[in-house]
Amino acid sequence: MPTIASTNISSIDPVSMLFPKRIYLKYLEVKHPRGPLTARAELQAAEIKSLALFIKTLEPAEKQSALESAKAMIAYGQAVLENCK
């Protein structure tokens, strides 16, 4: 059975694309587990808040790496938005 360490997690959780694997796994360790299913917007808001708190714990180089990845994701997302209209 595949474990989280051996699974291609970027296809499951886009947050995993922001960090190197070891940092993402660290994030998962501190992330609050989800309770009962609620509205999608509420889950997304909770995820963003949890991510923001986690980013504050990173070293400066780790933050810079995440920032560069986020900028790349924005550029790719913008290309999709512009070409799907």
Mean pLDDT of 58-80: 93
Q: How far apart are CA 32 and CA 7, in angstroms?
A: 21
55, 62 Cβ separation under 8 angstroms: no
What is the Cα 17 distance to its own chain's centre? Answer: 6
- Rounded to an integer, what is the distance from CA 18 to the centroid of its chain? 6
> Per residue in 11-63, pLDDT tens?
577 888 888 888 888 887 777 555 554 556 677 788 889 899 999 999 999 99
Query: CA nearest 68: which of 7, 9, 5, 20?
Result: 20
The answer to whether 19 and 27 are in contact (CB under 8 A) is yes
